[in-house]
């Protein structure tokens, strides 16, 4: 079994954090797409908004 390689994922998000507006396009380096979403949420801590292609709100 081979180890997964790190990839760069571009996250598209419309929403805000506690201080105001977050960047709409953000690049995150992880191994999986699910990990990219998790890393984005941990890093930017959005309080409301939508990830592109996601049917549910982040909070």
Distance CA 49, CA 40 (A): 13
Give the percent of the chain with pLDDT over 70: 85
Q: Which pLDDT does position 55 carry in this prediction?
A: 54
Distance CA 37, CA 45 (A): 11
Residues 6+ apart with CB under 8 A from 25: 10, 11, 12
Hey, where are the domains in the chain?
7-51
Q: Give the tokens for residue 32.
A: 């999986």
Average pLDDT of every residue of the chain: 84
Q: Give the tokens for residue 8.
A: 């760069």
42 band by pLDDT with thresholds 50, 70 and 90: very high
Of residues 26 and 1, the one with the higher pLDDT is 26
Distance CA 11, CA 28 (A): 7
Of residues 48 and 3, the one with the higher pLDDT is 48
Q: State the average pLDDT over residues 16-40.
A: 89
């Amino acid at each position: 079994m081979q180890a997964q390689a790190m990839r760069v994922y571009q996250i598209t998000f419309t929403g805000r954090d506690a201080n105001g507006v977050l960047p709409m396009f953000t690049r995150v380096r992880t191994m999986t797409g699910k990990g990219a979403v998790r890393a984005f949420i941990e890093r930017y801590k959005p309080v409301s908004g939508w990830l592109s292609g996601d049917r549910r709100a982040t909070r």
